Structure 1
Amino acid sequence: MSTAQPASAPEPFLLGPAMLFCPADRPERYAKAAERSDAVILDLEDAVAPADKPAGRAALIEHLDSAAQDLLERTVVRVNPAGTDAFAADMQALAGAAPQWIMLAKTESADDVQAVTERIPKVPVIALVETAAGAAAVQAIAEHPATAAIMWGAEDLIASLGGTSSRGPDGSYREIARYVRSTVLLAAASRGKAAIDAIYADIKDAQGLAEEAADAVGSGFAAKACIHPAQVQTIREAYRPTEEELEHARALLEEVSKHGGVFQFRGAMVDGPLIRHAELIVSRATV
């Protein structure tokens, strides 16, 4: 039986809201990706062909050895799935490089997270849940002490189920994708971990991205991943409250100290959850 204690709310997550993927074998893009995003995910998995992975590891190690500390603090390294030869090579290369964040592709169990920490102790792990097995084990993954956040992925998930697309003809997620998205968010939050929303693959559809990012904000995702620099500002704008939202939240919070419990504000009853909502809105004002 697990001895983990439930958390009341996720800890602040410092890598968002827009996390941009960059292939690890394209070091000429590292600096630009970092400049244009809140955090950069240097990818050793799907973005790099098998034959190019050794060159990607070499470029990545050189970067980790020479980059400034403030950049390293918002650099995530996505490694290959635990149990694969590519994962073993990633761990061997990274063991002496002291990455400050690891994203584990296709995490399917707490043992997968443990496989990272056994080779790189104390590194915070972003568990990427993108298979049926990972979705089924997400609560145990969230409970592992090295898990700092959980991200979900749609297309690999659907492939693992034998499907062909995560979205229906109207562009919205299929029911199973929505279920896993919600499950990841719940599992992460129940253990005080951040949840990261999946990428939006249609780079040209800024409106669709804006709507999905707004839903991620409203639902409680701490950040959203993206695959192109043009998507960063759209995500940031979704996480930044409007002037009206911010004014309302600040005014509500000013009233809290004047009341001992539930109170009425601008025609609505306000209690603890609504106060927390206002606090979160104010906290996003600097995004």
Structure 2
Amino acid sequence: MSDVLRGPALLFCPADRDDRYAKALAAADTVILDLEDAVAPADKPAARARLAASALDPERVIVRVNPAGMPDHALDLTALAGTAYRTVMLAKAEGAADLDALHAAGHRVLALCETARGIVRAEEIAAHPATIGLMWGAEDLIASMAGRSSRLESGAHAGRYRDVARHARARVLLAAKAEGRAAIDSVHLDIADVDGLRAEVSDAAASGFDATACIHPSQVAVIREGYGATPAEQDWAARVLAAAETQPGVFRFEGRMVDEPVLRQARAILGH
């Protein structure tokens, strides 16, 4: 995880609901104060005013701003200028140029790739000097392509992301990791589907994501559990690393070939 992002559970909070700010921050590792989709257009001025008047720990706050080029984007930056918040999530990032104004203002950027153009340009977005991480979004992506649903609705794999969404998820993860940036997995919108969330978090952690965003405090515990190594995993990692101290090069351990990539996985489990 980036040293300027706290994880693994990032909780969205509407920026016009300042009565929820402290509760959200207490519940999660990082709170995302949302000036974009979570706030109705008529309420955005009030949301900016409430955000500007707040004084949360800036190291645990991300502010989601409206897309570059929109009038609300410039207004968001004006509101942020008077705060200590310097980490922003740029909604619908579609190219490196979208980050330039944020970079000039001294902001660290978590770029949200959630349109077709943003996904295919994830590599250049990740390489921008202001970028500290990438996140992807399924629903806006499908909408940007005039699609109908990001998930399969029937059959043996009902509830699973469609292939195009899975491709987008993998591409954002690869782009982030290629540039040494944090990779954030998308929200699970079905709050009641705890098993589905657990499965996605488990896959995200195993695949190399650093954190998962969420929309409800009840999802935080599931996310934290999913990113934490199990006692069995920790035990295996400790034992295989101990064995490696007496084994030159590649060796066999409990029936499995062990080489340097496997040892790096073990070190990651133990946080080494």
Fold match by TM threshold 0.5: yes
> Offset at 1:13?
6.7
Measured against aligned partners, the alpha-carbon deviations of 1:107-145 in whole angstroms (never above 9, x if no partner) come to 000001112112x22x21000000011011111101101
Query: Are 1:37 and 2:25 matched, yes or no?
Result: no
**Which residue pairs with 1:74 in the alignment?**
60
Query: Are 1:114 and 2:100 matched, yes or no?
Result: yes
**TM-score relative to the length of structure 1:** 0.90
Query: Are 1:90 and 2:65 matched, yes or no?
Result: no
Query: Are 1:57 and 2:44 matched, yes or no?
Result: no
Judged with a 3 Å threshold, the aligned counterparts in structure 2 of structure 1 residues 14 and 193 are, in CA distance, closer, same or farther, namely: same
Judged with a 3 Å threshold, the aligned counterparts in structure 2 of structure 1 residues 144 and 53 are, in CA distance, closer, same or farther, namely: same
> Offset at 1:256?
2.5
Measured against aligned partners, the alpha-carbon deviations of 1:231-276 in whole angstroms (never above 9, x if no partner) come to 0101111111111111111111222322332122222221111011
Query: For the Cα contact (< 8 Å) 1:24–1:60, is it kept in 2?
Result: yes
Higher relative contact order (CA 8 A, sep 6+): 1
SS in 2 for 1:183: helix
SS in 2 for 1:195: strand
Query: For the Cα contact (< 8 Å) 1:25–1:53, is it kept in 2?
Result: yes
SS in 2 for 1:150: strand
Supply the AA of the counterpart residue of 1:96. G
**Which residue pairs with 2:149 in the alignment?**
165
SS in 1 for 2:270: helix
Distance in 1 of aligned mates of 2:260 and 2:65? 41
Percent identity between matched residues is 53
**Which residue pairs with 2:123 in the alignment?**
139
Q: Which moved more, 1:16-25 or 1:259-268?
A: 259-268
> Offset at 1:99?
1.3
**Which residue pairs with 1:3 in the alignment?**
none
SS in 1 for 2:83: coil
Measured against aligned partners, the alpha-carbon deviations of 1:178-236 in whole angstroms (never above 9, x if no partner) come to 11001001111111111100000000000000001101011111000000000010111
Query: Are 1:221 and 2:209 matched, yes or no?
Result: yes
Query: Are 1:151 and 2:142 matched, yes or no?
Result: no
Deviating runs (4+, > 4 A) in structure 1? 10-13
SS in 2 for 1:19: strand
Distance in 2 of aligned mates of 1:62 and 1:200? 30
Query: For the Cα contact (< 8 Å) 1:13–1:194, is it kept in 2?
Result: no
> Offset at 1:84?
0.2
**Which residue pairs with 2:167 in the alignment?**
179
**TM-score relative to the length of structure 2:** 0.95
**Which residue pairs with 1:15 in the alignment?**
6
Query: For the Cα contact (< 8 Å) 1:185–1:195, is it kept in 2?
Result: yes
Distance in 2 of aligned mates of 1:248 and 1:12? 27
Between the two proteins, the alignment pairs up a number of residues equal to 268
List alignment gaps of at least 5 residues for structure 1. Answer: 1-9
**Partner residue of 1:239 out of 221, 227, 250:** 227
> Offset at 1:21?
0.2
Judged with a 3 Å threshold, the aligned counterparts in structure 2 of structure 1 residues 107 and 226 are, in CA distance, closer, same or farther, namely: same
Query: For the Cα contact (< 8 Å) 1:126–1:148, is it kept in 2?
Result: yes
SS in 2 for 1:73: helix
**Partner residue of 1:257 out of 245, 252, 268:** 245
Supply the AA of the counterpart residue of 1:214. S
Query: For the Cα contact (< 8 Å) 1:108–1:131, is it kept in 2?
Result: yes
